[in-house]
Amino acid sequence: MNQNYKNSYKVTEKELVSLSVYNVGFQKCDPLYQWGPGIRDHYLIHYIISGKGYYKIKNTTFTLQTGDSFLVYPNTEVLYFADETDPWEYAWVGFTGSDASMILKATDFSTERPVIEHTPLGESIHRQILHIYDARGNEFEHAVEMTGRLYTMLALFMHGATTNTTQNSANSYVQKGIEYISSNYSYHITVEDISAYVGLSRSQLFRSFESVLGQSPKEYLTDFRMKQACYLLEHSDLSVTAIANSIGFDNGLYFSKTFHKMKEMSPSEFRNLHKQDIS
């Protein structure tokens, strides 16, 4: 009898902007079972429950085994396959969102070495992935529960990290800044307001955001507002002016210009395109 299996679940609506589960599952692979070469449009973490396999990224191949983890970065070509004699069994979770990059930078994953051997707290991480799977469903309450458990799983990777104190300090400042933005983006807040809340000068906040996220606080704030705008354009009948007011723009024309610059189409065109896609 073939003991191999695959259980997976893919979310059809990503409701949450900051962090949301894309897919989740677990699989015992056939010998030499392979994915790729190809790219994903989201982050994807695998935890190896048993067996062996190989993860190739760029010109480097990592040999991985029970208790190891590997991360697939968005839009990065990868290839991974199971060992011929001892094929791996793994659990995985894919996710997207504006918090993802910052959280992962507080773990031991990196673009240069996207693997963690002998993953600290590995069994707890495995259990959390299964908990995410157990919470699956396409109602909003399921999205919230899955995301909550995803935060818990990622926190376990952070607890086990050996990243330096300076970087952890920058992460904490950026996290505090993001908390302020997510709570106040609908008001006419400025970078100075964010700096005051975090307790850093504007230049210090800029350096922290650049080191962790690779973008300035102003760029992050604008991106966050545009993602909220996209959600409202897709899921509400609010006018463009009402949406502008709802995400902290007091000038509808400036909002439309900013939206067009980032999305290369007007808010109305974006809304019409989405309605065509789902019809």
Per residue in 158-175, pLDDT tens? 887 775 555 666 777 888
pLDDT in tens, 30-77: 999 999 899 999 999 999 999 999 999 988 999 999 999 999 999 999
Whether 180 and 198 have beta carbons less than 8 Å apart is answered as yes
Domains of the chain, earliest start first = 5-159 (2.60.120.280), 165-278 (1.10.10.60)
pLDDT in tens, 193-249: 999 999 999 999 999 888 888 889 999 999 989 988 988 898 888 999 999 999 999
Q: Average pLDDT for residues 82-88, to the nearest whole number? A: 96
- Backbone dihedral angles phi then psi of residue 158, each to the nearest 5 degrees: -70, -40
pLDDT in tens, 91-121: 999 999 878 887 888 888 988 899 999 999 9
Verdict on whether the full-model pTM lies above 0.85: no
Tokens matching residue 7? 């259980």
Whether 17 and 23 have beta carbons less than 8 Å apart is answered as no
pLDDT in tens, 7-23: 777 666 555 567 889 89
How many other C-beta atoms are found inside a 10 Å radius of the C-beta of residue 214?
12
Report which secondary-structure segment, H or E, holds 53: strand 52-57
Distance CA 247, CA 258 (A): 12
- C-alpha dihedral sign at 198, 201, 207, 213: positive
Q: How far apart are the first and last CA of the chain?
A: 44
Contacts of 186 (CB under 8 A, 6+ apart): 246, 247, 248
